[in-house]
Amino acid sequence: MKIVSACLAGINCKYNGGNNGCEKVIALIKEGKAIPVCSEQLAGFPTPQRMP
């Protein structure tokens, strides 16, 4: 099992509300070989982040 960036999994959790979807990463998740994790959300930041 692998941990992958949630934004690479196509989840809209980047600082700007978007994602960097990667078909290879999405395929790993669909196959049950990876778990998406958002480091920004784990750190307590909202997504999208409010910029001053």
Which has more confidence, 48 or 26? 26
Show the tokens assigned to 29.
């998740």
**pTM, entire model:** 0.80
Distance CA(16)–CA(14), nearest Å, equals 5
What is the tens place of the pLDDT at every residue in 18-32? 999 999 999 999 999
* SS3 call for 23: helix
Q: Where in the chain are the domains? A: 2-38
Bridging pattern class, strands 34-37 and 2-5: parallel
- For residue 52, name the pLDDT band (cuts at 50, 70, 90): low
Instruction: Return the closest-CA partner of residue 16 out of 47, 37, 46.
Output: 47
Q: Report whether pLDDT(14) > 80.
A: yes
Q: Report whether pLDDT(50) > 80.
A: no
